[in-house]
Amino acid sequence: MTIPADRPPPDPRRLADLAARAHELAGAEGIPEAVQALADRWPGATSGTALYGFGAAVSLAIGDLAAALDAAAERDASVGAERVADEGATAGRAACDEDIPGQVPPP
Amino acid sequence: MTRVYPWVRADPGLAHEAVGKLNRFAHAWRELLSDVDAALGTSLTDSPGSVAPGPDQPESDEPESDEPGSYIPESGEAPRAAVAESKRRVAPYSASRVAEAIDAVREALADLAAAIDEHAGPATRTTDPARLTTLADADGRCRDRVEHAARLLPTSGLEPWLDPGVTAPGDPGSLARDPERLRVTLAAWAAADIAALLTGYPALADALCEPAMTKPPWGELAAPPAAVDEASSLRHVVAVRAAMAAADPDTVRRAGLLWPRAVAGLDGAPLSVRFEANRLLLRQSLATSVDADRRHEEAEARRRTGGRAARLCHAVRRAWSSRDALAAVWSPAWLSESLSREDARVRVRLVQSLLHQGQGDGRGGPWRPRQVLVFDPRGRGRVAELRGHLDRSTEHVAVIVPGTGTAMRGFHMPAQFAADLVAADPRGGTAALAWMGTDFPQAFANESPLARFAVAGAPRLRDVVEALDVPAGADITVIGHSYGGAMTGAAECLGLRADKVIHLASAGAGPGVRGVADYPEFDPLGRPRWVRRWSLTAPGDPITWARRVDLPGRLGRLSGRLGSLSGRLGRRTRRPGRFAARLPPAATFDLGVDPTSLTGITILDAGIWERDVGRYRAGTPLTGFVGHAGVTHPATTAFRELAEVVMGP
């Protein structure tokens, strides 16, 4: 990462936190959910497809920023970061709870 | 002609809700950019002062040249520094364009919502042709504005958000169109520099994800074995691992970056290299998803305007695929082979989740990306994800083999199961693989009774477990849920490497398995197998009905010629794997005996819901149809017992 000469090196933990926020915007709670839900529930409207494409494109663009921040944090990370983010065992659990009845049909 | 369909169901509240979400999103985006600026000294929040042209105005392909932020290197300045500086100047423009695009979509949606409010009303039951025409026009205008906004986004992958730290060799756009030249160019680069370059220019990574004309190092090893059978594929895993171990780590990582499609699913390659390669594939999959969605829309439009037969077929297909309960009972070939638009969109969400959702490791470590071991969106799709750490401190490894109905749209279920298992270990010493690396049956009437899915998936399961590089001293537990139990049994017949096997609501002990003696005592590499087995099924689980059918077993109990015939059909030799090639037709319905009848197997009790979850109250017994999937839920006794087995001695 090119840093202006008069600035101290960025804190890798802060960079990692920024990267996590960018990832969240790109995929977890960002435009994909806001816009794609609308597109999915608006069948047949021609704007639905465009909205869907827009949502995916925004996710892609912001995801690239998130990846760039990840890379920057990795490069600068000589100390460990402390952030705990287990989205899998919390947020994802709620989604699965809704699916329990009959989600896996018997053979 | 104005179509009525969208508007009789259009809910203006949806659009208003989306506008509100976009407001919050735009705010969060600007906040993020501001914080990035503060942390890095960049100027992402600086607006270049551009005014986005309207949908009817031409756009400039080279916006940087006339923007206030454009950079003209001074004479004598190092070219590399000049390039880096110009890159920093690109990012503010990109950032501002994202903000502009979001604002434009927000306004377009607000206008559309207002039009629905005015012309359809809250009841949305209008059939007045004039109003419908007005609504259709509003819809069209909204689409135009959204499409224009999408064109503002920096999605080419050729505009670095941040300086990647290395200078692109030549023109990135030209290299992105010629992957082979790109590989040759980067062949001498250090892997870390290639990774940095691909992060800065994702379009180059997308190009490398295209099928390659050339092969990575290690000759034939880079390609999967021609035959996936009882022993050759396992030997292939061992050979790949040996070759990779002998190679320079930088060379191995470079191969994963330059030939991601070849290395991402290569059993035996280092897991970290596979994770990195799969992330490239995921990003490329997302980049192509918009085009795929548009193709679906065009195909649907063609069907709508086609003849009666085409319209009827389309209606039947939509009706069938949109009703999960129906598709879960019977999955006709024409349905399973064609990806519906809804399925495609679900896959996009999965990819976004795999790319951007973090994973915890149970140790309180930093945010980490999800570790995707297999990703192949072709056909029914294949995914495998590792949760937790696989290193010298790992004590237990669980491999989860899901059951009927598992596809990319349902991958969150085994993935969640794996995450819950990892989180259940207070010591943080458990890793879990959610494996969907083969085709699973999709419907219980016409696919689940067939053994062919288990037979086809068995060698792949055995090989991926072998490829996990489980540290010495750690034990491996393979959990086969529902149909996955039969697949796990089939893999056992091929010498699956496991210390413990759990048949969880299992469909059977494996195709052709009539007893423990049908599992080999040695694997194809000659290593002894010592496997302990458990079985857990909730009372009243419908899977028990399927076990009772056990056609080959019933035939075997008949006397005379029938018994002899069925014995031939059902009994397997001890030589693992051979049965796959010699499976008689009748045995295609044989998923093996009820696992609870296996000698030495330990039966676990499904127990109760131990805390309130949705409409299930604490203390309620885990039974019936809900119990089939409920056994994987961490709020149940069943899950606690599973975790104890996985994390036990």
Chain A contacts in chain B segment 66-85 (CB below 8 A): 84-85
Closest-CA residue of chain B to A106:
B543
| Average pLDDT of span A89-105 | 48
Structure-token pair, residue B318: 């939509």
Q: Which of chain A's residues have a Cβ under 8 Å away from the Cβ of B165?
A: 1-2, 75
Structure-token pair, residue B64: 């940087």
Better-scored residue on pLDDT, B134 or B327: B134
A57 contacts B290? CB cut-off 8 A = yes
pLDDT one-digit tens code per residue, B280-322: 999 999 888 877 777 877 777 777 666 777 767 766 666 666 5
Chain A contacts in chain B segment 456-475 (CB below 8 A): none
Candidate from A63, A72, A104 with C-beta closest to B413: A104
What 3-state DSSP class applies to B354? helix
Closest-CA residue of chain B to A99:
B413
State the smallest CA–CA distance between residue B354 and chain A in angstroms: 9
**Cβ within 8 Å of residue B130, ≥6 positions away:** none
pLDDT one-digit tens code per residue, B111-153: 888 887 777 654 445 566 777 778 778 888 888 999 999 888 8
Do residues B101 and B149 lie in contact, with contact meaning Cβ atoms separated by under 8 Å?
yes
d(CA A107, CA B447): 8
A75 contacts B367? CB cut-off 8 A = no
d(CA B376, CA B151): 29
pLDDT one-digit tens code per residue, B431-455: 999 999 998 988 776 677 788 899 8
What 3-state DSSP class applies to B137? helix
State the smallest CA–CA distance between residue A78 and chain B in angstroms: 13
Better-scored residue on pLDDT, B490 or A78: B490
- What are the strands, taking DSSP E only, across B332-424? 358-359, 368-369, 371-376, 382-387, 396-401
Q: Which of chain B's residues have a Cβ under 8 Å away from the Cβ of A66?
A: 356
Q: Residue B369 is which amino acid?
A: P
pTM of the model: 0.82
* pLDDT above 80: residue A3: no
pLDDT one-digit tens code per residue, A49-69: 788 888 888 888 888 889 888
B293 contacts A52? CB cut-off 8 A = yes
d(CA B399, CA B463): 12
B347 at interface of A, judged by CB pairs closer than 8 A: no
Candidate from A40, A57, A83 with C-beta closest to B367: A83
Structure-token pair, residue B42: 């960049």
d(CA B588, CA B584): 7
Give the angle subtended at the CA of B16 by the CAs of B13 and B22, to the nearest 5°: 140
Candidate from A16, A18, A56 with C-beta closest to B35: A18
Do residues B92 and B80 lie in contact, with contact meaning Cβ atoms separated by under 8 Å?
no
* pLDDT above 90: residue B467: yes
Do residues B363 and B410 lie in contact, with contact meaning Cβ atoms separated by under 8 Å?
no
Per-residue pLDDT band for B332 (boundaries 50, 70, 90) equals low
Closest-CA residue of chain B to A55:
B150
Which of B9, B36, B45 to substitute to test the interface with A, most A CBs within 10 Å?
A: B36
pLDDT at B82: 41
Give the max Cα distance, chain A.
66
Give the max Cα distance, chain B.
98
B613 contacts A19? CB cut-off 8 A = no
pLDDT one-digit tens code per residue, A13-44: 888 888 888 888 887 554 655 565 665 555 55
Give the angle subtended at the CA of B565 by the CAs of B564 and B566, to the nearest 5°: 95
| Average pLDDT of span B452-459 | 90
Share of chain B above pLDDT 70, in %: 75
* pLDDT above 80: residue B347: yes
Instruction: Identify any residues that bridge with B183 across adjacent strands, giving them in sequence order.
Output: none
d(CA B468, CA B31): 41
Do residues A29 and A37 lie in contact, with contact meaning Cβ atoms separated by under 8 Å?
no
Region of poorest pLDDT, from B230-234, B471-475, B606-610:
B230-234
Per-residue pLDDT band for B204 (boundaries 50, 70, 90) equals very high
Q: Which of chain A's residues have a Cβ under 8 Å away from the Cβ of B16?
A: none
Per-residue pLDDT band for B413 (boundaries 50, 70, 90) equals very high
Q: Do you know the residue count of chain A? A: 107
pLDDT one-digit tens code per residue, B56-78: 444 444 333 333 333 333 333 33
pLDDT at B445: 67
| Average pLDDT of span B15-33 | 83
pLDDT at B232: 78
B224 at interface of A, judged by CB pairs closer than 8 A: no
Which of A54, A79, A90, A93 to substitute to test the interface with B, most B CBs within 10 Å?
A: A54
State the smallest CA–CA distance between residue B296 and chain A in angstroms: 10
Chain centroid to Cα B549, Å, comes to: 34
Do residues B566 and B506 lie in contact, with contact meaning Cβ atoms separated by under 8 Å?
no
A47 contacts B32? CB cut-off 8 A = no
B549 at interface of A, judged by CB pairs closer than 8 A: no
pLDDT one-digit tens code per residue, B356-407: 888 754 444 566 889 999 999 888 889 999 999 899 999 999 999 998 887 8
- Kindly list the distances between the CA atom of residue A7 and the CA atoms of A11, A69, B82, B291, B520, in Å, as whole numbers in the listed order: 11, 18, 19, 43, 65
Better-scored residue on pLDDT, B201 or A101: B201
Give the angle subtended at the CA of B448 by the CAs of B446 and B450, to the nearest 5°: 80
pLDDT at B582: 36
* pLDDT above 60: residue B30: yes
Share of chain B above pLDDT 90, in %: 37
pLDDT one-digit tens code per residue, A82-91: 333 344 455 4
Size of interface A-B (CB pairs under 8 A): 325
Q: Is the ipTM of this complex over 0.85?
A: no
Candidate from B18, B41, B349 with C-beta closest to A38: B18
The DSSP element (H or E) to which B480 belongs, if any, is: strand B475-481
Q: What are phi and psi of B590, to 5 degrees?
A: -100, 110
Q: Which of chain A's residues have a Cβ under 8 Å away from the Cβ of B318?
A: none
B3 contacts A65? CB cut-off 8 A = no
In which order are the strands placed within the sheet that holds B475-481?
B371-376, B382-387, B430-436, B396-401, B475-481, B500-504, B532-536, B602-604
Compute how many other C-beta atoms are within 10 angstroms of the C-beta atom of residue B303: 17
d(CA B331, CA B487): 20
State the smallest CA–CA distance between residue A98 and chain B in angstroms: 8
- Kindly list the distances between the CA atom of residue A83 and the CA atoms of A15, B217, B360, B640, in Å, as whole numbers in the listed order: 11, 38, 10, 28
pLDDT at B534: 97
Chain A contacts in chain B segment 410-449 (CB below 8 A): 410, 412-413, 415-416, 419-420, 422-423, 441, 443-444, 448-449
Q: Which of chain B's residues have a Cβ under 8 Å away from the Cβ of A97?
A: 613-614, 633
Candidate from A15, A34, A69 with C-beta closest to B21: A34
Give the torsion sign (CA, B463, B465, B468, B469). Answer: negative
